[in-house]
Structure 1
Amino acid sequence: MTGGHVAVVDLGYGDAGKGTVVDALCGTGPVRAVLRFNGGAQAAHNVVAGGRHHTFAQFGSGTFHGVPTHLTRFVVVDPLALAAEAAALGNPFHLLTVDGDALLATPWHRAANRARERRRGGDRHGSCGMGIGQTMEYALSHADAPRVADTRSPRTLRRRLAAVRDRLTAEAGPLDAPPLDDVVTAFTAFGAVVSIVDASFVARLLREGRCVFEGAQGVLLDEWRGWHPFTTWSTTTFDNVAALCDSFERLGVVRTYTTRHGPGPFVTEAPLDLPEAHNGAGEWQGVFRVGHFDAVAHRYAVEVAGGVDALAVTHLDVPARCPELRVCTAYEAGGVHVKGLEPGPARDLAHQARMTSMLTGARPATLYRPADWAHEIAELLAAPVRIESYGPGRAAKRFRPEPRPARALVRGRG
């Protein structure tokens, strides 16, 4: 890899292998820090290295290399979940810094989130049940939403946590959450053990050395660009990175097959025999779904993300084990042959909802099996492959210092 800053973004619905890619990047040379730039404790980035396995959520996936983690202002911080993760990692709080302006997810946000999903019954939107969306929604309506810096002021913290408890209880009814005093104590302890910094800290990190920005979830779940309402309350594109850093390499991650956790459109879903070691059915997310490589959706993701400089293609060992696996380059939707998806105006949720309706009834129209999966994906997404991954461990990663050129972005074949 080059010596500049790198941002890692999933070009699908999440679970493409961002954690293993970040781990590999942190093992190729000095990295000053891994910066998390969206999402929160609902992230689940699996890293397998040297006999160790950890599902990274709030700590960066470079932690096994001793690379520090910085949680930027765009991350929703859950002190209780972070404490549990830290304990599993041996309490590496010395490697963690947190922006004081980052929002705090509380037990009441989590309980209200779960109550809302229960009320939806069979019409669930899909959720990790961690209260991330509830925290973001609350902050849009309440200027006194609790933030990380509040943990250093017990009086302010108590007042703001009490307001969250009272308002959400009034809206959702009784919530299953710990007593206020216990939450104040736990959050105050968090504020005492972590290093809380201001917004200028990011610029300092960027000056001091090469940084890796680690995204959460995927572009096809983006709050503004995903298939509404089956989306996340998070900007999953490179936009947040661009707000923090002037110059960086855009690295998009895709699997050789497309996956989705939970409800929502999935045109290429198929009954492929692809067991998943670290993903399964969850009470809140629902089932883990698999399907053929969806070049139409992934090209759309590249476009709305603002383009990519290079790709990391994971699960390249899978096609040899799954002869049924194909690549889809066009849909059939209502009698129309669809080769590309229209991004529409920015932040136009009505357009995204229409996309959802169209995609719900779409089916693959063009399927074929490439001879060279990495090269074919590079051509379809118009970006060179920088990292090939043939398994979860570091030894299964191959870096291409001079990747083969890809042809111009096309809407599809056939």
Structure 2
Amino acid sequence: MANVVVVGSQWGDEGKGKIVDWLSEQADVVVRFQGGHNAGHTLVIGNQTYKLSLLPSGIVRGKLSVIGNGVVLDPHALVAEIGKLAEQGVTVTPKILRIAENTPLILSLHRDLDRLRESATDGTRIGTTGRGIGPAYEDKVGRRAIRLMDLADLDALRSKIGRLLSHHNALRRGNGQPEIAPETLYQELASVAPLVLPYMDNVVALLDKKRRAGNRILFEGAQGALLDIDHGTYPYVTSSNTVAGAAAIGSGLGPNAIDYVLGITKAYTTRVGEGPFPTELHDEIGRRIGERGHEFGTVTGRPRRCGWFDAALVRQTIRTSGIDGIALTKLDILDGFDTIKVCVRYRLDGEEYDHLPASQAAQERVEPIYEEIEGWKGSTAHARSWADLPAQAIKYVRRIEELIGAPVAILSTSPERDDTILVRNPFQV
């Protein structure tokens, strides 16, 4: 048996929900290891649709679900999400949900700062969701964060609040915002403490015990590898490491706990928010892909930018995440195109590159070099075997494998769970 890390191989929104749900049914433990409630998975189980933004996907199947220390946790958002699931018939108890005691918290002051920055008109707008993710990670790195375990000692909490506010109130004054009184922040935390503390645990010990017992562990990433704070399209990235290696850091298990990395990869490319997007389409084809693919954010509802498949970018994430195989999703959205383009390299100032340069200025100026592939007229929707696919669709899949240097382990042909072609089960390596 193996432990599996699932990451998005593009800018997120690759259709991870269906794949992680399928894998979570086979797993014993599902771990969320980075990000906050700014990303999410949509799970379709029977006639019920669940939209998760913080809770691990295994929660809807009653699997032991763990929020690791690499996540930044908005305790009020967590309580609200648990309540929403209860309305859908899913009861979340401390028996199936455990949260790392050293998980940093997102507070109202983080949301304030995030939104203040995003409303700036000086060209520094990143395109965040305004949910306080970045500022919370800043406080973690700045060693002034309030962590979940701090709610268990309210007497000692006041001094930690004072240290945090000495930083944030200075920022607020500089931006013409009123200061926050220590008692206000204390009450914000004290009121939610009894609601979230029952879920707190020593997750490192818990996961080590499960691993030694032979349990299958699924590490579930949010967003995509191209939004990684180090390896993504900086500065238009998220504030955490989204590559597969972060599963070890964000859960407390060593890297030898990872046996297989599955990269979820859309058959075309989308992006939400600001930042470079070499293959973006601003024409009727781009609109057609967006409409057919229902390309709107799970959490925010924001329309996604759409473009052709970028093999050069996915090649990069194959390297940075050590991806063993990909789950190719939404192939059916490309049905009916006469010609499909795939970016194989870039051109910049007369030179060709097989990767996206790290420079922000260069990323904004590169021109994609396309390879044209003949499309197909038949339908790939709901296909459950290779024999159900048009021959030209199979050629497209095989060409993608060649260009990115990784095999297709799973092929998804609709949001429905059973509309899947399994080549290799990541848990059985």
TM over 0.5: yes
- What does 1:221-300 correspond to in 2, within 5 Å? 221-243=227-249, 244-245=253-254, 246=256, 247-270=258-281, 271=283, 272=286, 273-274=288-289, 275=291, 276-277=293-294, 279-280=296-297, 287-300=303-316
Describe the SS at the equivalent of 1:250: strand
**TM-score, normalisation: structure 1:** 0.86
Query: What is the alpha-carbon distance in structure 1 between the residues aligned to residue 310 and residue 352 of structure 2?
Result: 15
Q: Counterpart of 1:128?
A: 129
Deviation, 1:163, is 4.0
List per-residue Cα deviations over 1:353-405 (Å, max 9, x = no partner).
Answer: x2x211211222223126323322222222221111111221222211389xx
Note if 1:335 corresponds to 2:333. no
Query: What is the alpha-carbon distance in structure 2 between the residues aligned to residue 133 and residue 104 of structure 1?
Result: 12
Contact (CA 8 Å) 2:224, 2:242: kept in 1 or not? Answer: yes
Q: 1:177 to 1:8 in 2, by over 3 A?
A: farther
Q: Counterpart of 1:206?
A: 211
Query: What is the alpha-carbon distance in structure 2 between the residues aligned to residue 338 and residue 160 of structure 1?
Result: 49
Contact (CA 8 Å) 1:281, 1:287: kept in 2 or not? Answer: no
Q: 1:314 to 1:17 in 2, by over 3 A?
A: same
Describe the SS at the equivalent of 1:137: helix
Q: 1:361 to 1:281 in 2, by over 3 A?
A: farther
Describe the SS at the equivalent of 1:22: helix
Q: Counterpart of 2:201?
A: 196
Note if 1:399 corresponds to 2:422. yes
**TM-score, normalisation: structure 2:** 0.83
Query: What is the alpha-carbon distance in structure 2 between the residues aligned to residue 387 and residue 69 of structure 1?
Result: 24
2:411 to 383, 388, 403: 388
- What does 1:70-85 correspond to in 2, within 5 Å? 70-85=66-81
Q: Counterpart of 1:411?
A: none
List per-residue Cα deviations over 1:175-231 (Å, max 9, x = no partner).
Answer: 698943541233312333323324222212222310100011111111011122111
Q: 1:9 to 1:198 in 2, by over 3 A?
A: closer
Contact (CA 8 Å) 1:221, 1:232: kept in 2 or not? Answer: yes
Percent identical: 30
Deviation, 1:45, is 1.2
Deviation, 1:318, is 1.1
Contact (CA 8 Å) 1:263, 1:286: kept in 2 or not? Answer: no
Q: Counterpart of 1:101?
A: 102
Deviation, 1:304, is 2.0
Note if 1:8 corresponds to 2:14. no
Contact (CA 8 Å) 1:332, 1:362: kept in 2 or not? Answer: yes
List per-residue Cα deviations over 1:236-290 (Å, max 9, x = no partner).
Answer: 111222442413201111100011101111000013212253615998x965201
Which amino acid in the other structure matches residue 11 of structure 1? S
- What does 1:182-193 correspond to in 2, within 5 Å? 182-193=187-198
2:318 to 267, 289, 302: 302
Describe the SS at the equivalent of 2:7: strand
Query: What is the alpha-carbon distance in structure 2 between the residues aligned to residue 279 and residue 86 of structure 1?
Result: 23
Note if 1:22 corresponds to 2:20. yes
Contact (CA 8 Å) 2:101, 2:200: kept in 1 or not? Answer: no
Contact (CA 8 Å) 1:20, 1:61: kept in 2 or not? Answer: no
Q: 1:402 to 1:116 in 2, by over 3 A?
A: closer
Q: 1:193 to 1:312 in 2, by over 3 A?
A: same
Contiguous gaps of at least 5 residues in structure 2: 375-391
List per-residue Cα deviations over 1:290-346 (Å, max 9, x = no partner).
Answer: 1000001111111222x211111111211115445421112222222223346xxxx
Query: What is the alpha-carbon distance in structure 1 between the residues aligned to residue 158 and residue 302 of structure 2?
Result: 35
Contact (CA 8 Å) 2:313, 2:356: kept in 1 or not? Answer: yes
Contact (CA 8 Å) 1:102, 1:148: kept in 2 or not? Answer: yes
Describe the SS at the equivalent of 2:274: coil
List per-residue Cα deviations over 1:79-129 (Å, max 9, x = no partner).
Answer: 111111111111413321011111111111111111112124544112121
Q: Which piece of structure 1 moves more, 7-16 or 358-367? A: 358-367
